[in-house]
Each structure stands twice: as structure tokens, then as C-alpha cells.
A and B are shown apart, each in its own frame.
Chain A
Amino acid sequence: MPSRSADIDTFPDGWRHRHLLDLERLSPDEIRLLLDTAARFKQATDGCRRKIAVLTGRTIVNLFFENSTRTRTSFSLAARRLGADVVDFTASSSSLSKGESFIDTARNLEAMGVDAVVVRHATPGTPHLLAQHLDVGVINAGDGPHEHPTQGLLDIFSIREQRGDLAGATVGLVGDIAHSRTARSNLWGLVKLGAKVILCGPPTLVSPRWREVGVEVSHDLDAIIPRCDVLNLLRIQFERQNTRPFPSVREYAHLYAMTRDRLKRAKRDLLILAPGPINRGVEVTAEVADCPQSLILDQVTNGLAVRMGVLWLLCGGRGVDSAAAAPSHARVV
């Protein structure tokens, strides 16, 4: 039976956005609100395991122009936990191969009466362009190397769950910063919540210009490990690179893989995150991925909580009773 918490009846006053496109332009309070909402949903659904039917009758479409298994599944499950219907739309089966523009595709889906579009695309800014052309909510599920706001939120959510406040925490983002949307969303979220961020990787993947937004840049993982409270190990995005930015995977792993030896030099309560899919043996060795400090599987569960919260906020959820009556964008400015 679907459960229901009194908490979910109250729509937060501080949320005024129709879309979730990136974390760069959200305020610290808005990010906290998103995290708090996710926490409410995690609790109300008994750790994301049960249904809470606050979006009954709503339809969410997953519009994925780029392959994804886990993010799409996570959004689908989150929507179903809330009682919404879910439609999957993938580029390979679509009219895009017939030359239709992505804007026309999205408009067609909108005309079928969907309430929110979850979009993934290889090109930065595509969700932003869609948001300009659609009246329904757009959720960015990853736009090329730009942002992946729900991934950033779930990473931060997972850290917050373990250590409470983010302020003062030192978080190392290690690896392919250049091509990582996870890195960008984490960076903005963490900085806004007062964490100290260190970006670490070879200069071909970590531009020194990142210092201009107030983060530390390091090319030496061994040097930063002892100072970190959290390490987020990012995947090498081979598919986005023109030319390989390091001589060999072997050399990369030698310099930047999180190994048991490196773990020994870390703080004892170091938290380890990795947004899947992980390349075991490249960014992280198997024994570290599975060690007690690893939050890798918590991240997956928390992804559901974050996405339930986001879908509810953007679909103008009002609790079960009022949801059907309220226009879906009543709170949009």
C-alpha cells in the first residue's frame, strides 16, 4: 500500500523554478531546499522503497538522446514511486534519425500532454534550449560535459547524510574534470554549500583556470589525499575526447587510480564516491570501490530520493488531494 507522510503536503515556499537545468544558477538556499526535499521523500518512502502517490495522473517523459541505463532507470523508478506514468523516448527509436529537430520532437511530446521532460543530450545547453521552447518542466539529466544537476545533488546528499553539514569539508574531485558534467554540478553545489573543492587530474583534463571560480587545482593525487574528507572519483570519458589526454590507461591509473595503498594515507573517515559507471582498475581499484568507506551504492539509492524530490517540485506537487486540481505551473514565476 502506498504510504503517505504529512510532510509532503507542504509545498516549500522557497521554490520558484519551472525547470532544473543546472546548479550553477541556483542559490545555496535553493540547493538546500532540494536536498531537504529529497530527505523528506527518502524518509516518507521508507528509504526509497515504497510508493507515495503524490503525482498520480501525471506523465513524465524520459527524452534520452544519449545512451543511459542507470539515470533513466532512476528517473523512471522515482516517477513510479510517486505514482506518475513514465514514457521512455530514445533517440535510436525516434524520428530524429529521419531528420526531425530535437525541438520538434519535444514539442510533439508536449502536445501529447506530458507534465515534465527529463532530457539527456550530448550537447551542452540542449535542455536550456528546450526549456525556452516548451511550457512544461524540463529536467536536465546530463547535457554533454556541462551539468548533471541531479547527480551533483545526490552526491552531495550522500555526503551530507554521513557528515551533516558540508561547510568546511574538503572534497576532492578526481579525474576527467574537462569532460565531466558530474564534476561541474558537484563543483557548484559544493562551493555554494561552503565546502572546499580540490580538482585533481592531469593538466590536460584539469584546467588551471578553474582557480578563477575559487577552487583549488592539483595535479598530484598523493599530495591532496591526506587533506580530503571526501574523494569523488570521476570516470574517464573516453567517448568525449578528441585525442587521448594521457599516454595510456596504465599511466593514468598509476598516477590517479584510488588504490588500497593510497587509501592508507587518507583520513580514516574518508568518504569515497564514484558516479557510475565505474571503470574498475582505472579510477578506482575493486577493493577500494567495495571498502566500507565507499558510498557508491548509497549514491544509487539517494538518486531516487533526489529525483523524487525534483519531480515533485517541478510538477507542482501539492499532496495527493490537491495535485489533480492545481494547474501544474501555478507556482512558476
Chain B
Amino acid sequence: MATLLIRGGRVVDPAQGLDGVNDVLVRDGLVVAVGPEGAQAIGRADETIDATGLVVCPGLVDMHVHLREPGREEDETIETGTRAALAGGFTSVACIPNTEPPIDTQSTVEFIHQKAARADNCNVFVVGCVSRNREGKELADIGQLVEAGAVAFSDDGAPVYDAELMRRALEYCRMFDKPILAHEEVLELSRGGVMHEGMVSLLLGLTGMPAAAEEVMIGRDIALAEVTCGRLHVMHVSTAGGVALIRAAKARGARVTAEACPHHFTLTDECLRGFDSNFKMSPPLRTADDVEAILAGLADGTLDCIATDHAPHAREKKMLELDRAPFGILGLETAVGLSVTRLVNTGRIGWPRLVEAMSTLPARILGINRGTLRPGAIADITLIDPALTWQVDVERFRSKSVNSPFHGWTLTGRAVATIVGGRIKHRLDAS
């Protein structure tokens, strides 16, 4: 009967329309009560956290994380990736199946679950492959993957290229009510590209990936979602045109959701001028106009949630020529700082919307029983110091890799405690 009391924090829980100073009482891994100090249900506890001045919210959910295991343990493991998640304030991550082998069988799903249980850090929800062996030819055994616990399906890293297969995937997943998480890219248009196609790529002589490569595919998949009534989730939206397509689709009532990554609402293609491969990711950093559109899309809800696309790569892999270095950027340990700094402290969105984008909606899209502090809910809770100013130091990251271009940046806002199932799994002081 272990009890934990989180006292005096600003409890933000959009799922129950809550935003105010409250206490949260946890017993046996569940939230038992949320209410003002001294309320009837709030009594004595075995352990108390003073949350004065902190934001207390349902545990953050990152629905787009590359844990790299199995197959690329030199970049990240389930153990290191989930520790990085805890340090970043995430109590749940969804791992993307572009591993080696890809997650397209029940046994691979079970492997992930076992490794995650052994690591005993944050929750790991498994995304299964859309196509067998991620080859884009035939559907993976989606029903069996659902039975094993897969919460969504994706061939991320690559688009589902065959339009007919994508149509079947959207159609087939309807019976499980699972979303397809789509990496949107017309490969012929982006071939050989290392950055956004625009003025900067023109000056640097680098091969560009035009915004149209992403937008054409978003348009295709929206049309397929509408014809099938399937659930489409557009990953890492990076272009203004993409935001506009999704906004229009939602207005028509299409079952479309979308995510944005912190780097896409923070950085532009100008960053590539130093040829640093840490700024190389797919989709690439776009222009200031695109950044503005993503900020607006997050503010008006066109882009439902924030996901990191945490993509670790071992140091030596990124120390290559720009065209040989892999795409990808770390995200887990900087997401809160970047989101607070770029979204909340600039007045673009308030705390309730931020919590919605980082917890409520990703949990809802994945259909997992997380994302709220309602009594009875699993006690996944994140405590954020909204005023803490800190400097990013990749050498102190829990992640196994250091490919973050934010090294040395000063950010405001940081998770100071991460509670999973009622247990305090991370405290900033204890680091």
C-alpha cells in the first residue's frame, strides 16, 4: 500500500480540463485522487514530493522513437534509449520497427517487451511493420502483431511506396482501430538529397529534397485515408504545404492526425551552412516559412502532437562526409526544453496545449491507457520545472549517441522528476 503525494504543483491535465494548483495522491501505482490541499481524499503518504512551482502533468508520451535494438546496438539500446526517455520526462515511448530484423513478427514484439521489462525504465509500446520485412511488398501479419501488443503500424525510415499496399493497410487496420504512421516521401524527388531544396542548397551545391517530395505523398495518403476511412497519422510534418493539406483534410472530416518534431519548429536549412551532419535528418530542416507554419499548426491543433523522431547514430557514423552520414537527430532529452522555450515561453501555446501535444493526444492516437491523471489511471506522471534554465551537454546524455546539434544551447524548462507506475524513475537532482 505504498503511497506517494505530489504536493502543491500546477496540475495540468487536459483530459479532465484541469489546470490549477492541486495535490496528486498515488497509491499502488495508480492515481487515487487529485484535489486541492486538504481535500478529503488527500491524506498522509509514505513519500511526499514538494512540487511547488512545478508543472505536474500526465507522463509524456513520445510516439516516434528509434531505439535501434535489435540490430544496431552501437547506436542505442532499449536500456539506454528508455533511460534517455526518463531523463527527458517521457514515461512512454513508441518504438519504430526499422530495426534489424524489423519488428514484423510476434517474437520480435515479445523480444522488445522483454528487453523493456528488464531495463525497467519507461513503458515501451511497440509499433509493428506495415509490410513484411519492411519491404513494401505485402502486408505484415498485422493481426498477430496486434495480439502481441503492437499499438500502431509503420514502415518509417521509408514510405509505404506502393499506393495499393498503403490502401490495403489503412483498410485492414480499421478492424483493429490502429493507425498507420506514415513517413511521407516521394523517393524519386528526394533521391541523393541531403537537405531541403531551396536557396541554401543552391548556394552550397548540395542535392536538395524538395518540399513537394513530402507534400505529394501526404496528399496521396490523405486521399487513401478518405477512400478507406482508415486512420492515417502523418509523421514528422516539416513543410507549410503539408500542414495546409492536413488542415484541409481535417476540415473535411478525414481520420487524419499528425505530429511535428522539435527540430522542425526550431531550426532551418540555414543551419547546414556549416556542413555539420548533426543537422542532417529526414525530412530535412526547411525554411523559416515552414517553421512558422508548423508553429501555427501546433497552436491550432492541425498538428496534434509533438514527437521527437529520436534517431541515434554512433559518433563515427556521423563523422563522415555530409552525403555519407546517416539521417537522424537525437530528441528525447531536449524535447521538453525546446518545446517550452519555443512554444510556451514565446506565447504560441499554453501549458494545457503543450501537455495535450506531448501526452494526451499521443496516448489517444496510440490507443494506450495513458495520458491522464484521472483517479484510477496508471500513475505515469512528469514534473517539469517551467523556469529552469539549463545548458544542453551531449556528454551528459543518457542516450548512447551524441548526435544533437543542440549541444551548448541554453534552454528553459526541464523535467525534474519522471514517475512511471507510481515509482519515481528519474529525478534531476539524483543525476
Contact = CB atoms under 8 A, between A and B. Distances in A.
- A in complex with B: yes
Interface of A: 24, 101-103, 121-126, 128-129, 143-147, 179, 181, 184, 207, 209-210, 212-213, 242
Interface in B250-285: 274-275
Given A128-B274, A128-B275, 15 more contacts: A101-B316, A101-B320, A103-B319, A121-B321, A124-B204, A125-B322, A129-B321, A143-B205, A145-B205, A181-B205, A184-B205, A207-B202, A209-B198, A210-B202, A242-B207
B202 A209 contact: yes
Interface string B202-225: 111111000000000000000000
Contact of A146 (B192, B204, B274, B320): B204
B206 A124 contact: yes
Q: Is the interface of B mostly helix, strand, loop or mixed?
A: loop
A123 B274 contact: no
A29 B15 CA distance: 63
A200 to B, nearest CB: 16
Contacts of A210: 202
B191 interface: yes
Nearest to A146: B205
A209 B199 contact: yes
Contacts of A145: 205-206
Contact of B321 (A102, A207, A209, A242): A102
| B192, B199, B204, B207: residue with the most chain A Cβ atoms closer than 10 Å | B204
A147 B321 contact: no
15 contacts: A102-B321, A123-B324, A124-B204, A124-B205, A124-B206, A125-B204, A125-B321, A126-B275, A126-B322, A129-B275, A144-B205, A144-B206, A146-B206, A179-B205, A212-B199
Interface in B299-330: 316, 319-324
A24 B205 CA distance: 12
B280 to A, nearest CB: 11
B328 to A, nearest CB: 18
| A125, A143, A145, A207: residue with the most chain B Cβ atoms closer than 10 Å | A125
Interface of B: 191-192, 198-199, 202-207, 274-275, 316, 319-324
Nearest to B193: A242
A259 B232 CA distance: 57
**Top 6 closest A-B pairs, CB basis?**
A125-B275, A145-B205, A146-B205, A123-B321, A124-B205, A123-B323
A141 to B, nearest CB: 15
A179 to B, nearest CB: 8
B322 A123 contact: yes
Contacts of B323: 122-123
A125 B274 CA distance: 8
A242 B204 contact: no
Contacts of B320: 101-102
A303 to B, nearest CB: 21
A124 B322 contact: yes
A101 B322 CA distance: 12
Nearest to A179: B205
A280 B156 CA distance: 47
Contact of A147 (B191, B199, B202, B205): B205
A320 B85 CA distance: 61
Contacts of B192: 242
Nearest to A240: B207
Contacts of B275: 124-126, 128-129
Contacts of A24: 203
